[in-house]
Structure 1
């Protein structure tokens, strides 16, 4: 059941929001409704890990200070020499 809601917003924000809604073929009401829905959506519980991923976890032992970004950067430098 839809209900009316009165909001007080900055006029320039309203104009920009109207342009955005129009360019995306959606009403301003639906735009605000979807934004509020995304803000209030309950966060999903922990993602279930498949048996395959569970079997692979712990296969490689790395130091605590291992930097994945540095290792990947080094890999890319070597690859594109």
Structure 2
């Protein structure tokens, strides 16, 4: 269902937004709708990941007190030990 929304803002903002929309080849309504979707829905980072990475997520279970910085430091110390 599509519903009309009326917004009130400065003329200069409207003019700039219309110019931006023309340059992008989109309607101002599409730009506003996409912006509102981006701020109104919880960020789902899995959309930005490759399917292979998403499939691997949750495979490794680490303890609550796992300190990755400490483990990284230990691994680097072993790697570069003279």
Q: Which residue of 2 aligns with 1:26?
A: 26
1:36 has 2:36 as partner: yes
Distance 2:15 2:45 in 1: 38
Taking structure 1 as the reference length, what is the TM-score of the superposition? Answer: 0.57
Which runs of 5 or more structure 2 residues have no equivalent in the other structure? 47-53, 63-67, 76-82
Taking structure 2 as the reference length, what is the TM-score of the superposition? Answer: 0.57
| Superposed structure 1 runs of 4+ greater than 4 Å apart | none
Tell me the number of residue pairs that the alignment of Structure 1 and Structure 2 aligns: 58
Q: Which has the higher helix share?
A: 2
Give the SS at the match of 1:12.
helix
CA change 1:17–1:61 in 2 (3 A) is same
Aligned pairs for 1:1-81 within 5 A:
1-44=1-44, 48=57, 51=60, 58=71, 60-61=73-74
Q: Which residue of 1 aligns with 2:51?
A: none
CA change 1:44–1:2 in 2 (3 A) is same
Which runs of 5 or more structure 1 residues have no equivalent in the other structure? 63-81
